[in-house]
């Protein structure tokens, strides 16, 4: 699976589920619910206890159509660990050029986190496959419109501030996909094993993205 194919798949789905959980035993139920709801890309963050082992386990069990990534990867050593465990894309909240280099050594997609126009362009010029704009909470969809004026070639994905209801606004503003965490993965529902809530949330956000793209194609 080449990094180009993974990026195409993530862009096609338009949604990356960001999984930050305290109880790793719930991970399989969450993954199944996301798939049922139409989300085909998920990242397990390094803040989840035993994240590397979980990624390795998930990579063996996941359906062929699902892309599994690792998040909150801060250094090249961790990147190599999760790549060998089976992650097909690497996400970070910050920009580390050595992480991008490590990812490309293994033909794995790199999605570093950036905040300013200079960081975003620096990441892209260093070979980032998608630039994660974080925390997007402070910026809003208009920021994406403004950036895409002079830099239309850059694939950007907001994380932070993306909700089930506003996901479509980010796509309309030029995002290639959206990263969604708490809004999608309701902690209370997970704690109570109500995974159908997660599946419903997934359908909502996938529908919002599809609706925004439908408007674009007819616009």
Helix, strand or coil, per DSSP, at residue 97? helix
Of the residues 26, 43, 56, 169, only one is catalytic, namely 43
Helix and strand tally (H, E) in the chain? 10, 9
Does 145 participate in catalysis according to the annotation?
no
Distance CA 50, CA 10 (A): 25
Q: β-pairing, 178-180 with 156-158?
A: unpaired
HSE of 135, CA atoms in CB hemisphere, 13 A = 5
Does 169 participate in catalysis according to the annotation?
no
Of the residues 28, 60, 132, 155, only one is catalytic, namely 132
Is 158:165 a contact under the CB 8 Å cutoff?
A: no
Assigned token pair, 173: 């503003």
Secondary structure (DSSP) of 190-213:
HHTT-HHHHHHHHHHHHHHHHHHH
By annotation, the residues acting in catalysis are 43, 132
């Amino acid at each position: 699976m080449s990094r180009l194919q993974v990026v195409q798949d993530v862009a096609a789905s338009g949604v990356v589920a960001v999984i930050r959980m305290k109880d790793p035993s719930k991970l399989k139920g969450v993954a199944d619910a996301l798939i049922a709801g139409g989300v085909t890309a998920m990242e397990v963050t390094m803040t989840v206890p035993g994240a590397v082992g979980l990624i390795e386990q998930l990579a063996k069990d996941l359906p062929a159509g699902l892309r599994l990534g690792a998040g909150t990867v801060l250094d090249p050593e961790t990147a190599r660990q999760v790549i060998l465990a089976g992650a097909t894309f690497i996400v970070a909240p910050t920009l580390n050029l050595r992480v991008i280099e490590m990812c490309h050594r293994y033909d794995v997609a790199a999605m570093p986190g950036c905040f300013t126009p200079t960081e975003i362009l620096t990441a892209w010029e260093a070979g980032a496959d998608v630039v994660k704009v974080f925390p997007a909470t402070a910026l809003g969809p208009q920021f994406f419109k403004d950036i895409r004026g002079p830099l239309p070639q850059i694939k950007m994905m907001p994380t932070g501030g993306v909700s089930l209801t506003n996901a479509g606004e980010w796509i309309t503003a030029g995002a290639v996909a959206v990263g969604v965490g708490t809004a999608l993965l309701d902690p209370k529902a997970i704690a109570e094993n109500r995974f159908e809530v997660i599946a419903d949330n997934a359908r909502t956000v996938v529908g919002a993205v599809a609706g925004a793209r439908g408007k674009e194609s007819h616009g």
